[in-house]
Structure 1
Amino acid sequence: MVVKICATVSLLAFGAVFLFVAACGEAAPSSATGQTGIGNVNCSTDAGPATGLTKFGATIGAWNATHVRDAQYLSWGPLLPDGERTYPTVRCSTDGRVIVIQVHMNPPVAAATAVGLALAELPADVKMVYDVTQAQCRNLQYQSQALASEMGADNPDGIADIQLESPLPSAGLGLTFQPDSVETAHIDLLDAYSVKPTGC
């Protein structure tokens, strides 16, 4: 009888270990991995109804209905003094949601101004998750229920990552982040929720 009880306990213990190992092998949820399986493709140039979001997270139809596009290139917005447009890069998910925006600023602006310009591309309900400055860039992450609700499976956590970068330096010098001179704000949803990046 004692042997039988010990065998039962051993099996239960083994079963617990087995279940634990199996759980460790499961795929992590989207909040732990970031959104990497939704595609990253050229956006359509077709306009659609300007309903719902019209900036980051919008359908490309709504984006096109509210932004002027360069007739020759996939870039949007007014021309700046250096000849580039305000949005030189816009990328979409395979189902037509705007998931990457590059905001170009010329002349360069202070970091606080750049953050304000980037936040203007996001819904009003965003809340900061983190703000970290690295040697070559500054990274901020925000979360928005409006983004999560409208983007659905493309962005279930409602993430918006912002990376600020200074102008490229002269030849031979390494890129460094200068808070008083920001030229680019990249907005995307590639970083996992609350996981701070370790590179730029």
Structure 2
Amino acid sequence: MTKSELRIKYTKQRETLSQDEVLSLSEKIFYNFLEEFKLVENQKVHCFLSMLEKKEIVTRFFMEYFFKNKIRVFVPKIFKGKLISVEITQETAFIKSFYGITEPESNIDSGEKDFDFVITPLLYCDQHGNRVGYGKGFYDEFFGSINPNSIKVGVGLFPPNESIDDIWEKDFPLDYLVTPVEVLSFLGLTSKSTK
């Protein structure tokens, strides 16, 4: 299936879930993440802030854990048409963006390139680690600008049942996918680019 077909299909599937179901599934994803990855103090994690109205994975569990365990937290912000990475603390002030996304008030890009983990939003991910997002390309551009050893972890509600037929050479596959039931590793696989 194409990205646009998958985007429609999985957006509809996500819309059928209640907020309570999303919360419960998010908690399972969080625990699967913790089980797989042993985080330590001062590691650097880039993590998106959830758009609850779009039924995205609730990342509040992650944030609370990171702050409690002295893990440095960076979040995305769209500034001047590109995704920048802003370091946040528990005292950071937030605003709603033009896209309706909660973002830090600050426009200061941390300039950080060496993340231990990048927790990545998605609508769908296939069995090769290729993801379907919202089609804006912000994350692929971001992945191209950071240390390639940063571990890219997708968090998704659905298993990788279908292949994505229209992968582009500038698409960056994920290293892992964490779902409510399993953690899949794509390390060692090669992405099949068609363009």
TM-score range, shorter chain: under 0.3
Higher relative contact order (CA 8 A, sep 6+): 2
Who wins on radius of gyration, i.e. which is larger? 1
Tell me the TM-score normalized by structure 2. Answer: 0.25
Query: Structure 1 length as normaliser, TM-score?
Result: 0.25
